[in-house]
Amino acid sequence: MLEIKNIDAFYGKTQALYDVSIRVNQAEIVALIGSNGAGKTTTLNAISGLLRPASGSIEFLGEKITGRKTFSIVEKGICHIPEGRRPFADMSVRENLEMGAYLPRVWKNREKALEQIFAVFPVLEKKQNLLARALSGGEQQMLVMGRGMMSNPKLCMIDEPSSGLAPILIAEIFRIVQTLRDQGMTILLIEQNVRHSLEIADRGYVIENGRVVLEGKGKDLLGDDMVKKAYLGL
């Protein structure tokens, strides 16, 4: 579905990605793991067109999207849920979700999209008329995920969804990510919670200092000595 080949990316003169190649197949969860500043968010930014790679290519559904404008990448079916969950605080939950349906082809079907989102996130249905600012941190994370899903994406990139949440909510967010995959969604996931993300990931990539240093099945990476030592504290 998504094929990143040999991309280099820079912020000004500083190189952030070196020859990064990543593949995501349909209905997979692919985890990107690595320490702070490794280049995970930069990789997502390159895919969604927020940062233009200096070299290499990115193909989505067989079409080159490298260097395209973000809106045309969203239109092709990629959604990017950035870290930091920022719903529109003074809009209702329902209005926030509707903001995710601004593409003309999606707007027509927004009621159906809402129904699907409410089936995955029942709490959003219950609280649809409340202002987003009244939601807990976990509910706000669900809201920004739901808002992204409203565009009916084929690939969803989620950056640090569990960051700052209590353990019970972290488990709930991971359960939802799995449910989305089981329903056929393809997910590229960044998580500091390495154990949990590799447990649910079909495959994963370890990024260090802007380079992919290891890739494999989620379960195999969990058993890898380097991963155990560097990311699992074992």
CA dihedral of 105, 128, 119, 71, whole degrees rounded to 10? 30
Tokens 């912020």 belong to 11
Residue (35 or 128) nearer to ligand ATP, CB: 35
Cβ atoms within 10 Å of 207's Cβ, excluding its own: 24
Angle value at C-alpha 176, between 170 and 178, nearest 5 degrees: 105
Q: Provide, rounded to whole angstroms, the least separation between the CB of residue 16 and ligand ATP.
A: 4
| Interacting residues with ligand ATP between 32 and 51 (CB under 6 A) | 34, 36-42
Nearer to ligand ATP, 41 or 151 (CB): 41
Nearer to ligand ATP, 39 or 100 (CB): 39
Contact residue for ligand ATP among 2, 4, 16, 31 (CB under 6 A) = 16
d(CA 128, CA 75): 26
Which segment (9-17, 54-62, 116-124, 131-139) binds ligand ATP by CB under 6 A?
A: 9-17
Q: How many residues make contact with ligand ATP (CB under 6 A)?
A: 11
Q: How far is the CB of 35 from ligand ATP (least distance, A)?
A: 7
User: Residue 162 interacts with ligand ATP (CB under 6 A)?
Assistant: no
Tell me how far, at minimum, the Cβ of 18 lies from ligand ATP, in Å.
11
Task: Give 36 or 129: the residue with its C-beta nearer to ligand ATP.
Answer: 36
Tokens matching residue 188: 């590229």
Which residues of the shown chain bind ligand ATP in the complex (CB under 6 A)? 11, 14, 16, 34, 36-42
